Chains A and B, each alone.
Chain A
Amino acid sequence: MKAENKLLPTEEAVKKFVDDGALVCFGGFTHGIPFALGHEMIRQKKRNLKICKETPDLLVDQMIAAGCVKHTIFSWAGNPGVGLLHAFRRAIEKGIPKPITYEEYTHFIMAARYFAGASRIPFIPISAGIAGSDLIKYRKNLKTMDCPYTGKKLCLVPAMNPDIAIIHAQRADREGNVQMWGIFGSNKEIAMASQKVIVSVEEIVDEETVRRDPNRTIIPGFHVDAIMEEPWGAHPSYTQGYYDRDNDFYIEYDQATRTVEGMETFLNEWVYGLENRKEYVKKLGAEKILKLMVKPYYSFPVNYGYYG
């Protein structure tokens, strides 16, 4: 693929790369949740998706309410710092709008499954801690074994290899070399574990900006299928150094989505009623944007040395 073809509008990237029924893996851990891309999947009425994300957050909750999701794989399904996810609960407890199936793990197991997937090994042994949890009764794909070297009990977790990873980060160049700082979550691992990778960034930067600081690259361009510039693409979560987490939005969402009707109103207002992220940012409004913008706090430049 020619480098310049990777820079795609979000709408086109979702159309081209996200198939109905795919196993879709979202990146971000409180930080950098790819809302712009997820909302576009809702607008395009993607169906029967299997979604994996350690913390589904409001994004997967909205996708469940919109009927995009058939199956979820997660380790902590709550509204961080606030409470529960109402659409997620309705789907599981009452089958509204339709029943979803799910499988859950612990954070460590999810992280280890991505790591095994990224390394293309079929499984990875971890500490047998999980054996004390009832989870193991319901997850037949978790095995225990005695270590062939030490005899110690181990828990084996199978690799996870999603069809597509969806990630939001600070910046990338036109070749798709993605750079991130702040809380990474499993972004590096899910990108390498997945067949396809699409990434929205706050800024597309020139190649030299990336190459002057190679340690900050989390995904190499050769493994990125599409990149798009989506400023504020992670709101109401945040992008470190660009804008703050909109904690009020998380609290208001909790109140607004307690009923099916409330959830529909929310989706109409924030997803269906907007054509793209630009409109979303306009809807957020100047006052909110100013409130969430963050004062700079720069790192010092490091010296890589000129070895010419």
Chain B
Amino acid sequence: MKKYAKDYSLQELMVVVAARELRDGEIVFVGIGIPQLAAVLAQRTHAPNLVLIYESGTIAAKPMRMPLSIGDPTLASGAAGIYNFIETFSYLLQRKFIDVGFLGGAQIDRYGNINSTVIGNYEQPKVRLPGSGGGCDIAALAKRVILIAPHEKRRFVEKVDFVTSPGYLDHPATRAKLGLTGGPSAVVTTMGVLRFEDATKEMYLDSYHPGVAIEQIKENTGWDLKISPSVKETEPPTEEQVTMLREKIDPEGYYLKKVNP
């Protein structure tokens, strides 16, 4: 019998929801923050054989402390291996070893396309953002991608200003035409969990977090968001998961003490 936690934060909920998306034995391209916590939580609960790989090339890292950047030295000490940059991207990602990648972005549209490059015009940007990094490569080459983002109207937009990392682009067949497989499988937000319809590859609301109204989610989405006929409340974290996060995974509260990601 699962014992659900009564006391948990929004961030803890998001971590747990993301962790549930990971299956035992998968190879995950991990990012810092929620993805890191989710992957470690999954590894210590339902997916002990999960392999964590970072874009800095550290393979099956076993961080002795919370890594604060993707190239943190704690990811190197004790790792099973360390690859050069080109080896990481060609032998692991292009070789299709990566089952799951995590991505976020300043803008996300209904087909799961991500913008992390500019707000406004590319050549005369209003806000210049960091750019792709490995985002585009992960979006194109991982077997599936989980998106993590605060649910805001300015972020969930009808059309992204720039496609940095391809989701399903503009049509369910477009990825295949470009020779791409995979694509986003879930979007974990501060308000709910969204997934993609098989036929249209359009994002729909699959579950709303406890205390959040469906109407509120629609209001914070920049297009007329489809709602699953079987929409439900997001399964809350268990007591075991919350205790694990607080006591073992991020005891200093590097990431969990922030109210919002």
Contacts and interface: CB of A to CB of B under 8 A. Distances in A.
A106 B131 CA distance: 8
Interface stretch (B43-51, B63-71, B198-206): B63-71
Interface stretch (B136-144, B213-221, B234-242): B136-144
A129 B180 CA distance: 7
Contact of B130 (A29, A77, A105): A77
Interface string A69-105: 0000011111011001100110011000000000011
Contact of A107 (B76, B126, B132): B132
Contacts of A115: 86
A183 B75 CA distance: 9
B228 interface: no
Contacts of A30: 56, 69-72
Contacts, number: 189
Most A C-beta atoms less than 10 A away, residue of B82, B86, B136: B86
Interface residues of A, number: 58
A184 B32 CA distance: 19
Contacts of A77: 128, 130-131
Contacts of B139: 129, 132
Nearest to B123: A138
Nearest to B84: A184
B104 interface: no
A129 to B, nearest CB: 3
Contact of B76 (A74, A88, A105, A182): A182
A186 interface: yes
A245 B134 CA distance: 22
Contacts of A92: 125, 128
B113 to A, nearest CB: 8
A29 B56 contact: yes
B253 interface: no
A252 interface: no
Contacts of B174: 132
Contact of A104 (B83, B85, B131): B131
B184 interface: no
Given A29-B56, A132-B180, A185-B85, A247 B69 contact: yes
B122 to A, nearest CB: 6
A75 B133 contact: yes
Interface of B: 32, 55-58, 68-73, 75-78, 82-86, 88-90, 93-94, 117, 122, 125-137, 139-141, 162-166, 169, 174-175, 178-180
Given A182-B73, A238-B73, 19 more contacts: A31-B73, A78-B131, A84-B128, A92-B128, A93-B128, A107-B137, A108-B134, A111-B84, A115-B86, A127-B141, A128-B140, A129-B140, A129-B180, A132-B139, A132-B166, A185-B84, A187-B84, A247-B68, A297-B78
17 contacts: A30-B71, A75-B133, A80-B70, A107-B85, A108-B93, A114-B85, A127-B94, A127-B140, A129-B136, A129-B137, A129-B178, A132-B136, A134-B122, A134-B163, A185-B85, A245-B71, A245-B73
